[in-house]
Amino acid sequence: MTTTRTAPASAPVDVGAWERTALERATQRREPAWSLDQRRAAVGIARTLAPPSRADELWRRIDLRGIESALPSLDPFRPAPATRGLDDLPAALLERLGAERGQAALLVQRDSDVVIEQPAAELAKQGVIVCSMERALAEHGDLVRERLGSLLEPDYDWFTALGAALRSGGLFVSVPDGVDAAVPIRVLHWIEGDGRLVAPRNLVVLGRGSRATIVEELVSADVEGPAFYVGGTEAFVGEDAKLIYGTLEEWGHGVYHYSNQRAQVARGGELQWVQTLLGGRVVKSNSYFNLAGPGAQAFVHGFMFGDARQQFHLHTLQRHLADHCTSDLLIKGCLKDYARSVYQGLIQVAEGAQRTDAYQANRNLLLSDTARADSIPGLEILANDVRCTHGATIGSVDEEQMYYLMARGLPRSDAQRLIVEGFFAPVLDRIPLDGVREGLRQLIQRKIG
Average pLDDT over residues 311-316: 98
Residues 6+ apart with CB under 8 A from 409: none
Residues 6+ apart with CB under 8 A from 225: 193, 194, 195, 254
What element of type H or E holds 216?
strand 211-220
Longest dimension (CA), the chain: 69
Is residue 342 within 8 Å of 312, Cβ to Cβ? yes
The pLDDT score that the predictor gives to residue 442 is 83
What DSSP string runs through 387-426?
Answer: EEEEEEEEEE--HHHHHHHHTTT--HHHHHHHHHHHHHHH
Does the structure show a pLDDT above 60 at 6?
no
Q: List the one residue out of 386, 323, 387, 317 whose CA is nearest residue 352.
A: 323
The per-residue pLDDT for 87 is 87
- Cα of first residue to Cα of last residue in the chain, in angstroms, is 40
Residues 6 or more apart from 240 whose CB is under 8 A from it? 208, 209, 267, 268, 269
Check residue 443 and give left, alpha or beta (phi > 0: left; psi -120 to 50: alpha). Answer: alpha
pLDDT at residue 336, rounded to an integer = 94
Q: Give the tens place of pLDDT for each residue, 316-332.
A: 999 999 999 999 999 99
Q: What share of the chain is helix, strand, coil (3-state, %, to 5)?
A: 30, 40, 35
So what's the pLDDT on residue 395?
92
Q: pLDDT tens across 208-266, in order? A: 999 999 999 999 988 888 999 999 999 999 999 999 999 999 999 899 999 999 999 99
Q: Residue 401: pLDDT band by 50, 70, 90 thresholds?
A: confident
Query: Which DSSP string do the residues of 15-27 spell out, in sequence order?
Result: THHHHHHHHHHHH
What is the rounded distance in angstroms from the CA atom of residue 162 to the CA atom of residue 371?
Answer: 32
Burial, 188: exposed, middle or buried (Cβ in 10 Å; 0-12, 13-18, 19+)?
Answer: buried
Q: What is the mean pLDDT of residues 284-292?
A: 98
List, in order, residues 6 or more apart from 322 with CB less than 8 Å away.
267, 291, 292, 293, 294, 295, 296, 350, 353
| Strand ranges inside 224-269, DSSP E | 227-237, 242-250, 255-265
Say which range, 84-93, 150-159, 223-232, 307-316, has the weakest mean pLDDT. 84-93
**Alpha-carbon gap, residue 251 to 189, rounded angstroms:** 10
Q: Are 190 and 111 in contact (CB under 8 A)?
A: yes
The number of beta carbons lying within 10 Å of the beta carbon of residue 201 is 23
The whole-model pTM stands at: 0.94
Range name among 280-284, 388-392, 403-407 with the lowest pLDDT average:
403-407
262 C-beta neighbours (distance < 10 Å), count:
20
pLDDT recorded at residue 231 = 97
Beta bridge partners of 319: 290, 348
Instruction: Give 99's pLDDT tier (boundaries 50, 70, 90).
Output: low
Instruction: Give the per-residue pLDDT at 426.
Output: 86
Q: How far apart are CA 218 and CA 237, in angstroms?
A: 23
Q: Which of 23-37, 59-73, 339-353, 398-412 has the lowest mean pLDDT?
A: 398-412
pLDDT score recorded for residue 4: 46
The residues that bridge with 218 in the sheet, in sequence order, are 189, 249
Distance CA 303, CA 285 (A): 12
> CA triplet 4, 283, 390: central angle to 5 degrees?
80
Q: Which residues are within 8 A (CB) of 401 and not within 5 positions of it... i.e. 6 or more apart?
A: 415, 419
d(CA 359, CA 355): 13
Vertex 300: Cα angle to 385 and 248 (nearest 5): 165
| 427: confidence class by pLDDT, cuts 50, 70, 90 | confident
Task: Report the mean per-residue pLDDT for the chain.
Answer: 92
What is the rounded distance in angstroms from the CA atom of residue 333 to the CA atom of residue 335? 7
DSSP collapsed to 3 states, 151-177: CCCHHHCHHHHHHHHHCCCCEEEEECC
For position 8, what pLDDT does the model report?
Answer: 47
* pLDDT above 70: percentage of residues in the chain: 97
Phi, psi of 392, rounded to the nearest 5 degrees: -150, 145
